[in-house]
Amino acid sequence: MKNNATKLMVRLQIALLLLIGLLMTPTWLQAQEFTVSVEIPDIKAAPYHKPYVAIWIETPQRQGVHTLAFWRQQADWFKDLRQWWRKIGRSGSPDYQAVSGATRKPGVYSIHWDGRLGTGSMLPAGDYVLHVESVREQGSREYLRQTFSYPSNKQEQLVLEGKQELGTVTLLIK
Partner 1 sequence: MSVNVKLISRAVVVIASVFAVFTSTAHERFILPSHTLLSGEAPQSITVLASISNDIFHPDRPLGDSGSGRDVGELKEYFANLEYTVIAPDGKVSLDTQWAAYSRMSVADVTLAHEGTYRVGLVQPDVFMTTFVNAEGQPARLWGPSPEIPAGATKVVRRTTASRVETFVTLNSATHQAIAPTGTGVEIVSKTTHPNDLFANETAQFQLLFNGKPLTTNTKVKLIKAGTRHRNDRDEQILDVTKNGDISFTPSQAGFYLLIAETHVDAPDAADIDVKHFSLYLTLEVFPE
What is the binding site for partner 1 (CB under 8 A)? 74-79, 82-83, 85-86, 89-91, 141, 143
Whose Cβ is closer to partner 1: residue 86's or residue 174's? 86
Whose Cβ is closer to partner 1: residue 51's or residue 151's? 51
Side-chain-side CA neighbours of 132 within 13 Å: the count stands at: 25
**Minimum distance between the CB of residue 74 and partner 1, rounded to whole angstroms?**
8
**Minimum distance between the CB of residue 93 and partner 1, rounded to whole angstroms?**
10
- Please check whether residue 70 is in contact with residue 57, taking contact to mean a CB–CB distance below 8 angstroms: no
Spatial separation of the C-alpha atoms in residues 131 and 33, rounded to whole Å: 17
Spatial separation of the C-alpha atoms in residues 74 and 34, rounded to whole Å: 28
**Minimum distance between the CB of residue 76 and partner 1, rounded to whole angstroms?**
4
- Please check whether residue 83 is in contact with residue 51, taking contact to mean a CB–CB distance below 8 angstroms: no
**Minimum distance between the CB of residue 62 and partner 1, rounded to whole angstroms?**
10
Whose Cβ is closer to partner 1: residue 48's or residue 77's? 77
Q: How many CB atoms lie within 10 A of CB 61?
A: 7
Whose Cβ is closer to partner 1: residue 1's or residue 75's? 75
